[in-house]
A and B are shown apart, each in its own frame.
Chain A
Amino acid sequence: MVTNITNFGRSGLSDWLVQRVSAIILALYSLFIVGYLLFHPGLDYATWSGLFAQTWMRIFSLLAFVSLAAHAWVGLWTVTTDYLKPTGIRIAVQTVIILAIFVFLVWGIQVLWGA
């Protein structure tokens, strides 16, 4: 048993599950956005804004943002533990990553509900 305190779910099993579920949500969201853009070739601001004004789209988008945040945390945490061996540097980089993820998440929520 290797103890860990900076990973997302405190357990390898939960991190692994979060990574896979969030990947599926991100794949569905990406396919939807790409599909939407293909079916609306002459997309204008009113249509685009109208899409994001609907509650289901806001829920779907927020779900994708939360998934991206969790996915990035798990993935980048893994990368830092592979390549940054000095504990001080690793914790510092992990802190910056987690803070950035938090800022982007709050910013994303503000974009969704702001307009």
Chain B
Amino acid sequence: MSNLQVSLYRYNPETDSAPYMEEFQVDTQGRDLMVLDVLHMVKEQDNGLAFRRSCREGVCGSDGMNMNGKNGLACITPLSEVVKKGKLTLRPLPGLPVIRDLVVDMGLFYKQYERIQPYLQNDNPAPAIERLQSPEDRDKLDGLYECILCACCSTSCPSFWWNPDKFVGPAGLLQAYRFLADSRDEATRERLAELEDPFSVFRCRGIMNCVAVCPKGLNPTRAIGKIREMLLANAT
């Protein structure tokens, strides 16, 4: 018998006037479970609990949440990594509107993603086979395309908290650079023109919260630095 105290953020807009924290006791039987497993055990005690999950192996990016103060994916975060003094506190991703319990409205996050036009733009007639890339050009996309849009980075970024409508955020900017760096994309100048205002890219203060929390080990701060370099090289 090894009890874990789980403190959960609860909010049901239909019945609660304000969010509150609810305490649960979970018996882990001494196993180093993933946080998502614990959530399922809590749901057995209270099946009204709402959270998102799908693949449960860190691929889909559905179960991003704040665990003992740090954003991450519940399905690939073992208890040994986050639990302190036998207590686990789970909150929704910070900075986004809460729909219910751990489920947040990702609308603003997706809007910023849409803004950077996350698709290849090339007006040349498509060749009979694929648009080819040299292995060197393909290598430039490594560390960029792996993003699963779980929003752990953008919702840990104070610049995104203060200006989610104007600052693209680390996730969106990582993808912006993914298309700026792609040798097959021809909209580089138009893309850069959309980003040179004081908010979209430049609201990044380089505090690197995004790098600290990314469950895929990606580095949005470096991508933002590369975008700045491209903007500078393109300007006079």
A residues at B contact (CB < 8 Å): 1-4, 7, 11-13, 15-17, 78, 81-83
Contact = CB atoms under 8 A, between A and B. Distances in A.
Task: Please report whether the interface of chain A is mostly helix, strand, loop or mixed according to DSSP.
Answer: helix
Contacts of B163: 81-82
9 contacts: A4-B197, A12-B199, A13-B228, A16-B202, A16-B228, A78-B198, A81-B163, A82-B162, A83-B162
A12 B202 contact: yes
A2 B199 contact: yes
A83 to B, nearest CB: 7
A4 B166 CA distance: 11
Interface string B160-176: 00110010000000000
The 7 closest A-B pairs by CB, nearest first: A12-B202, A12-B198, A2-B199, A82-B162, A2-B197, A2-B166, A13-B196
Contact of A15 (B195, B198, B232): B198
B228 A1 contact: no
Given A1-B193, A1-B194, A15 B202 contact: yes
Contact of B235 (A13, A82, A83): A13
B201 interface: yes
Given A1-B196, A15-B202, A78-B203, 12 more contacts: A1-B195, A1-B197, A1-B200, A2-B166, A2-B197, A4-B199, A7-B198, A13-B196, A13-B228, A15-B198, A16-B202, A82-B163
Interface residues of B, number: 19
Given A13-B235, A16-B228, A17-B232, A2 B200 contact: yes
B197 A3 contact: yes
A81 B228 CA distance: 21
Contacts of B203: 78
Residue of A1, A13, A15, A78 with highest tally of chain B CB at under 10 A:
A13
Contacts of A1: 193-197, 200
Contacts of B197: 1-4, 11-12
A12 B235 CA distance: 12
B198 A11 contact: yes
A2 B197 CA distance: 6
Contacts of B195: 1
A11 B196 contact: yes
Contacts of A78: 198, 203
Nearest to B196: A13
Contacts of A7: 198
B231 interface: yes
A81 to B, nearest CB: 7
B210 to A, nearest CB: 18
A69 B153 CA distance: 34
Contacts of A81: 163, 198-199
Nearest to A7: B198
